[in-house]
Amino acid sequence: MKAFNSVCIVGLGYIGLPTAVVFALRAINVVGLDVNARAVEKINSGEPHIVEPGLADALRRSVDAGYLRATTTPEPADAFLIAVPTPFRAGIETHDPDLSYVEAASRSIAPVLKKGDLVVLESTSPVGATEEMAAWLAQERPDLTFPQKNGGHSDIRIAHCPERILPGHALTELVSNDRIIGGMTKECSARARELYKMVVEGECIETDCRTAELAKLTENSFRDVNIAFANELSLICDRLGINVWELIKLANRHPRVNILQPGPGVGGHCIAVDPWFIVSQAPDEAKIIRTAREVNDGKPEWVVAKIHQAVADYIETHSEQPRIGCFGLSFKPNIDDIRESPALRIVESLARLYPGQIDVIEPHLHELPAGIKTQANLVRSVQALQSCRILVMLVDHDDFKAMPVPLASDYTIIDTKGVWLNRPA
């Protein structure tokens, strides 16, 4: 098989753009394809439209060296990596996956495919999505052969290689982490492995596409179940008047116990979404996975109820409405990503309950999301400490950990991350 002289990354978001940069930094010609014309314009000027440590400098070097450019129009390439969203279908209570973005991306690149090309689905997807992608491509290009009918002799190679990076460490983990490569045939897996070994220092393990799809869902479901255990412990400890962080610290002294830390819920584009894909496809079997999702999805409502009670107590004592300071909006510390963020869900609920009384402290955002921007204020921590009487810790940003612990005598403190309640004042 010929070498890969060019790679097209379809979708230039939190996964696609760092992936494009990683390939470009190794002197591989990369074209990024995205429907967002503004993002394409910024990327071509060497400026990222997302926040990721090290990305701005790496992108600028890649663009300046001529190895990376972005476009809104599909172009020929030797390999196509599809990294578009796979959210839930709108208006459906069963959390069914929405593959419309994958379908649109597939059909958009189909006209520029040629014999010998490789198409890889990187988007986290339900089992069978890679085969659906191959079917959409075949519909658009009946002049080419695909693995579902021609097996290892097909013109086009199809594979699934799910990303498994930690936001905030994308550029490092895209290179160092092992990759699971699931081809529709062994030939597809081998071809995809050739591509990834151009940039990946970790091991590239070959399997079939359905196993690769379920592997990613399994990884995130495992983490979700373990987080749910910690979150459920936090509810129990609150009922019994016990400090959950002290409890976990003590329990973790057992050599075979490693309980995770509780929080206000679970967010992000993976852990808060992927387990539902398993539940959707195997509802009778996925009992623990479903329960974990329900525990974690219910935690933001529990936090809002705690704040609501604190407001009621303050009004009873002071005969006035308190201001509420909410520390953090992103789904994890030290990033700007608010996708599926439980902190955002909490603040949205509070803004509806107490419009005009909410101050948000989020050092990684320059403005509040549209849904709360008219009902809440984005302020600095020093302002919140001056004006707010109820303080709610939602995201354990390093900036917040560096703050002095507020005095419990001055505020009502609701700390969902153990930033203040787990260390001395």
The total of other beta-carbon atoms located within 10 Å of residue 346's CB is 25
CA distance 119 to 346: 40
Same topology, domains 6-202 and 230-415? Answer is yes
Given this model, what pLDDT does residue 1 score?
Answer: 62
Q: Which residues face 376 on adjacent strands?
A: 358
Cα 367 from chain centroid (whole Å): 20
Give residue for tokens 């699934």.
160
Pairing state between β 358-361 and 179-183: unpaired
Return d(Cα 89, Cα 95) in angstroms, integer.
Answer: 7
For 40-62, letters b (16+ CB in 10 Å) and e give bebbeeeebbbbbeebeebbbeb
So what's the pLDDT on residue 87?
86
Query: What pLDDT, on a 0 to 100 scale, did the predictor assign at position 424?
Result: 56
Contact criterion met (CB below 8 Å) for 415 and 349: no
Q: Is 414 helix (H, G, I), strand (E, B) or coil?
A: strand
Could you please state the CATH topology (level 3) that the domain comprising 230-415 is classified under: Rossmann fold (3.40.50)
Domain extents for the chain? Answer: 6-202, 230-415
pLDDT of residue 164: 86
Question: Which residues are known to be catalytic?
Answer: 216, 270
Show the low-confidence residues of the chain (pLDDT under 50).
Answer: none
Domain 6-202: CATH superfamily is NAD(P)-binding Rossmann-like Domain (3.40.50.720)
Q: State which amino acid sits at residue 17.
A: L
Widest Cα–Cα separation across the chain: 77
pLDDT (0 to 100) of residue 167:
80
Strand partners, 326: 360, 392
Place of tokens 């045939």: 185
- CB distance 71 to 55 below 8 Å: no
- Helical ranges in 46-183 per DSSP H: 55-64, 100-109, 129-140, 147-150, 170-176
pLDDT of residue 263: 97
